[in-house]
Each structure stands twice: as C-alpha cells, then as structure tokens.
Amino acid sequence: NRAKMVVDKSYEIGPIDRRIYGSFVEHLGRAVYGGIYEPDHPRADERGFRRDVMDLVKQLNVPVIRYPGGNFVSGYDWEDGVGPREKRPRRLELAWRSIETNQVGTNEFAEWAKSVNSEVMMAINLGTRGIDEARKFIEYCNHPGGSYGSDLRISHGYKEPHRIKTWCLGNEMDGEWQIGHKTAEEYGRLAVEAARAMKQVDPTIELVSCGSSSSSMPTFPQWEVTTLEHTYEEVDYISLHQYYGNRSDDTPSYLAKSLDMDQFIRSVIATCDYVKAKKRSKKTLNLSFDEWNVWYHSNEADRQIEPWSVAPPLLEDVYNFEDALLVGCMLITLLKHADRVKMACLAQLVNVIAPIMTENGGRSWKQTIFYPFLHASVYGRGVALNPVISSPKYDCAEFTDVPYLEATAVHNEENEELTLFAVNRNLDDSLLLECDVRSFEGYQVVEHIVLEHDDLKAVNTADEERVKPHHRGNARLEEGIVNADLAKASWNVIRLR
Ligand code: AHR
C-alpha cells in the first residue's frame, strides 16, 4: 500500500483564483433568518447579525458569497427587500414554499458580506423577470448617484454604491423545477440581452451564464452549446452545479464521486472550447462551479415540512465523517482545474446544506465538512501544481480504476510554502505516501494535519465535536522525499516551508 507522487515547482497548472473558496447564502430555510440574521439573539450586533456566525464565517476565509439564490431568485422581486423594513411585504415564496418576510435584502446582505470580508456574487431573476429588472437592479446597486435607481439606494441610507462585480444571469434555468424554466434557446436570447443592458449600466462587471444544473441533466451538454452560442461573447463564466449523496450506503462508490465531478468539469471545458472554435473567438471562457456539496441527508425530512412558514428547517443535512472526505476530494478536484475554474461556491454556508449550524437563539457549531474547506481555503492559495501520481486502484459498483490516493499540491510563492492535500480512499488500510519534493530545496515539514475517525458515520453536534482534525500526522522529509502514513479513510494536509 504505497503511492508515489512527484511535485515539481515548475509543473504549474495555474494561479488559484481565491474565489474558488466562495460560498452561498440563499433565502431558504434558516440560512438567513436564524442563520446569519437573528436580531433577538444574545450575540446579535446592532444590525441584527449573529456575531458567533460571523466569527465562524471569517475563520473559513470566504472571499465571495453568492446571493440571494438559488431557486429563490427566480421568483424574487429585489424591490421587496429594500427601503424601510416596516413597509416590506411578506410574500409567498414559491421555490421553497415558505413565507419570505424580506427583513433582509440587498443592502443588509451587502453590509453583512463586508463584515465577513467577502464580496457578493449577485444573482438576478431571469425566471419571472428579465432585462428591465436587471438594468434597474444594477443601477440601484452599482451606480454612484444622480439617477433614479442610485438615488433610491442613497435615500435608503447607502450613499456608497455596493460595486458588486460578479453577477449570475439567473439560476438553473435548465431545470423544470425552476420558476420560469426556459429552453436553451429562450434562455440564451434572454441572457444575452440582459447581459448587454447590464454592461451598459456598468461595464466593469463580470457575468456568469447559466450552465447545467448537474452532469446528469438530460439536456447536458447541448444546453451549454445552445446557450453559449448566444451568450459567449457577452459573459465571462459558465456555471456548473453538482451535489452528491450516499443513498445506497456504498462508501467506496461515494468517495469516488469526485471523479464524476472531474469528468463534468472536463466536459464543460471541452464544450466551451467547441463554441469558441465555432465562433472563431479569441476569448477563452472560464468556469464558475457556483454550487457544489453533499446534499441528501435531509431530503426525507424536508418532505414532512408544512408549507408557508417563516424560516423552516429545510435542507439541514447533518454531515458525517465520510461526507468530509468526499468534500476534501471535491476541493482537490477544483484545485486540479485551477486554470479554468475561477470561481466556486460551497453550497451553502449556514444551516442549509452548510458547514456552519446554529440553534435559534442558541449555539452555533462546525459540521464535519467545515474542516476540509477551512484547510483548503487557508492553505490552498497560490499556484496549483500538477503532481505526477501513481497510486494503487480499486473498482466499485459505480466506477473502475479509482485511485486510493486523491491528491494535489499548492505552492504559495509569497509565503514560500508548499502544501500537499491528500485523501486516502482506502477504508481498511493506511497508505504510505512517498512524495518527491526535491525542487523545493531547503523546505521542511511544518505540520501534518489529519482528519480521521473510526466511524464513517460520526457527526458533530452542538454538544459534541466528534470529528475534528489533529496535528499528529507523521509526515517527515528525508533527502527530498516526504514520507507519510495516510491513515485509512483520512484527509491530510502536509505543510512544508
Ligand atoms: O442549494 C440548494 C438549491 O440547489 C439551489 O436553490 C438550487 O440552485 C439548487 O438546485
């Protein structure tokens, strides 16, 4: 049980855009109300935001947060969420069959994002609305003043424009569940015209065209081809969304699902490049993997929830240890595509399929998946390297030739640090990693962080943090080779400096 890896300084994939460590807050369940915002909470600040939650978000070091949806955005009127709070309407929110009180809207969210050192990635409603709303909304958010929309924002107490740079042109418009679902042709036409109007208001923005809702959509990848034939020259990114689950309780197959993610990314890159060739374009389109995570634990519970309540406990997946391993593999997969995946959002951030959980009025805690995301976000900055890996492999029900070792390396030139991220997918045995780092002369191992647990189904709760990392990994460097025992079923972060 030995795996070999060669990491060389000069084998660069490309610079890692820090925005691959983005996340997502949707008006859904208790993400906003009871999550980031709870004015009656003992730790709420003067604006009603929970300080305990802000502290946890800041630990994760999330550079960009997508908002306000998700499926929610396709029925959202942004005007409902601005201006005096007492005048804001309570609406039937159709995507999640809840009541939306609109006590948090664009301005409050932009302020909250600033407090956690994040930028907003704003989504516009291309479900029930279109070009007119898009141009007015961006004027409200980004224009400095002296026009109806910008002066309205100023009258609401926000003199400075929010300067929101990244905008999603709708959400999952290929999905039949989406309010205002469209064919690829319909979406492509609407998106390109909305894009043009928005860029006329603010030419500095970046736009994301809606890709497929998952690799298993029947319209994938024709959706990308048809929509990009319209939007290619006007947008900067295409979106990808993907969630996985272990419904059949087959952990070897479950941990291999990042291979599907890898294939999805490769196919979208190929499709973008096909459209580029067809258009004889000089521009290369990048990818925004703006929804990714594990999502399945809460599906059954959600079916029991009565409709039309405020902030019901929807999509509250309780993550276990094996979920953290898959999240680690997914993060490594994103890093392997750092040359084309420039943004990514862990969906979501608080309470709703989230690394951070809260009790209404009470405590907050870290789910198991908090840790791989934290490590990647904190140590995975710099240049992604392309290691040469040879690992023993296994076959399982859903995949063949799955490497036990899932790994990558990041070189942070500024801090003179090299970080190896590695998952051992073997559930029974440890794996001896031999990693050649001879091009990093003079470097020493500074720590080997490990997330491991005997029980793949172990979870964290407000009372007990069963799954948390330790720093007792045994990575050591001898003559330019890092040797490390990677425990069975483990996430490892080996840091050299
Ligand atoms: O993140 C939860 C939901 O998943 C989002 O609202 C939607 O875009 C996706 O289907």
In sequence order, what DSSP letters do the residues of 63-119 get, joined into one string?
Answer: -EEEES-SGGGGG--GGGGSS-GGGPPPEEETTTTEEE--SS-HHHHHHHHHHTT-E
Which ligand 1 atom is the nearest neighbour of the CA of 348? 1
> What does each of the 497 residues of the chain score in pLDDT, given as a tens digit?
999 999 999 999 999 999 999 999 999 999 999 999 999 999 999 999 999 999 999 999 999 999 999 999 999 999 999 999 999 999 999 999 999 999 999 999 999 999 999 999 999 999 999 999 999 999 999 999 999 999 999 999 999 999 999 999 999 999 999 999 999 999 999 999 999 999 999 999 999 999 999 999 999 999 999 999 999 999 999 999 999 999 999 999 999 999 999 999 999 999 999 999 999 999 999 999 999 999 999 999 999 999 999 999 999 999 999 999 999 999 999 999 999 999 999 999 999 999 999 999 999 999 999 999 999 999 999 999 999 999 999 999 999 999 999 999 999 999 999 999 999 999 999 999 999 999 999 999 999 999 999 999 999 999 999 999 999 999 999 999 999 999 999 999 999 99
From ligand 1's centre to the CA of 71, what distance in Å? Answer: 6
Which ligand 1 atom is the nearest neighbour of the CA of 28? 6
Which ligand 1 atom is the nearest neighbour of the CA of 243? 4
Which listed residue (172, 224, 322, 452) is catalytic? 172
Residue nearest to atom 4 of ligand 1 (CA): 70
pLDDT at 476: 97
pLDDT at 374: 98
Chain centroid offset of residue 234 CA: 24
Chain centroid offset of residue 116 CA: 16
Is the Cβ atom of 174 under 6 angstroms away from ligand 1?
no
pLDDT at 253: 98
From ligand 1's centre to the CA of 446, what distance in Å? Answer: 39
Please state, in angstroms and rounded to a whole number, the distance separating the CA atoms of residues 324 and 27.
25
Residue nearest to atom 9 of ligand 1 (CA): 70
From ligand 1's centre to the CA of 172, what distance in Å? Answer: 8
Question: Buried b vs exposed e over 43-59: b needs ≥16 C-beta within 10 Å?
Answer: ebeeebbbebbbebbeb
Three-state secondary-structure class, residue 216: coil
Tell me which residue has tokens 């609407």.
190
Tell me which residue has tokens 């990093």.
440
Count CA atoms closer than 13 A to 412's CA, side-chain side.
Answer: 17
Which among 26, 217, 289, 314 is the best mutation to test ligand 1's pocket, defined by most ligand atoms within 8 Å of the CB?
26
Residues with Cβ within 8 Å of residue 459, at least 6 apart in sequence: 318, 319, 320, 321, 367, 368, 466, 467
Which among 168, 172, 208, 239 is the best mutation to test ligand 1's pocket, defined by most ligand atoms within 8 Å of the CB?
172
For the stretch 143-197, pLDDT in tens is 999 999 999 999 999 999 999 999 999 999 999 999 999 999 999 999 999 999 9
Residues with Cβ within 8 Å of residue 170, at least 6 apart in sequence: 73, 74, 123, 124, 125, 126, 127, 187, 191, 210
From ligand 1's centre to the CA of 361, what distance in Å? Answer: 26
Which listed residue (119, 139, 291, 417) is catalytic? 291
Is the Cβ atom of 171 under 6 angstroms away from ligand 1?
yes
From ligand 1's centre to the CA of 437, what distance in Å? Answer: 41
Structure tokens at 63: 């550079």
Contact yes or no for 239/288 (Cβ under 8 A) = yes
Tell me which DSSP letter residue 16 carries.
Answer: P
Strand 490-496 relative to strand 481-486, pairing = unpaired
From ligand 1's centre to the CA of 381, what distance in Å? Answer: 27
Q: Residue type for 151, please?
A: D
Please state, in angstroms and rounded to a whole number, the distance separating the CA atoms of residues 480 and 279.
48
From ligand 1's centre to the CA of 69, what distance in Å? Answer: 7
pLDDT at 114: 98
Structure tokens at 305: 């929830």
Q: Residue type for 332, please?
A: I
Q: Residue type for 377, please?
A: S
Is the Cβ atom of 172 under 6 angstroms away from ligand 1?
yes
String of DSSP letters for 118-130: -EEEEE---SS--
Contact yes or no for 389/420 (Cβ under 8 A) = no
Please state, in angstroms and rounded to a whole number, the distance separating the CA atoms of residues 355 and 111.
22
Sheet holding 476-478, edge to edge: 388-390, 2-6, 431-436, 481-486, 476-478
Is the Cβ atom of 93 under 6 angstroms away from ligand 1?
no
User: What Å distances lie between residue 489 and 95, 258, 403, CA to CA?
Assistant: 37, 15, 13
Residue nearest to atom 6 of ligand 1 (CA): 70
Is the Cβ atom of 71 under 6 angstroms away from ligand 1?
yes
Active site residue 172: yes
Residue nearest to atom 8 of ligand 1 (CA): 70
pTM of the model: 0.98
Tell me which residue has tokens 């994760």.
60
Please state, in angstroms and rounded to a whole number, the distance separating the CA atoms of residues 357 and 318.
9
Is the Cβ atom of 68 under 6 angstroms away from ligand 1?
no
Whether ipTM exceeds 0.85: yes
User: What Å distances lie between residue 420 and 133, 332, 449, CA to CA?
Assistant: 46, 10, 10
Please state, in angstroms and rounded to a whole number, the distance separating the CA atoms of residues 307 and 456.
34
Residue nearest to atom 5 of ligand 1 (CA): 70
Let me know how many helices (H) and strands (E) the chain has, helices first: 11, 25
From ligand 1's centre to the CA of 70, what distance in Å? Answer: 5
Q: How many CB atoms lie within 10 A of CB 434?
A: 14
Is the Cβ atom of 74 under 6 angstroms away from ligand 1?
no
pLDDT at 59: 98
Catalogue the E-assigned strands of 236-281.
237-244
User: What Å distances lie between residue 216 and 17, 242, 259, 262, CA to CA?
Assistant: 27, 9, 14, 14
Three-state secondary-structure class, residue 236: coil
Element (H, E) at 43: none
Is the Cβ atom of 26 under 6 angstroms away from ligand 1?
yes
Please state, in angstroms and rounded to a whole number, the distance separating the CA atoms of residues 98 and 343.
30
Tell me which residue has tokens 């000069």.
10
Is the Cβ atom of 347 under 6 angstroms away from ligand 1?
yes
Is the Cβ atom of 70 under 6 angstroms away from ligand 1?
yes
Please state, in angstroms and rounded to a whole number, the distance separating the CA atoms of residues 312 and 305.
8
Is the Cβ atom of 317 under 6 angstroms away from ligand 1?
no
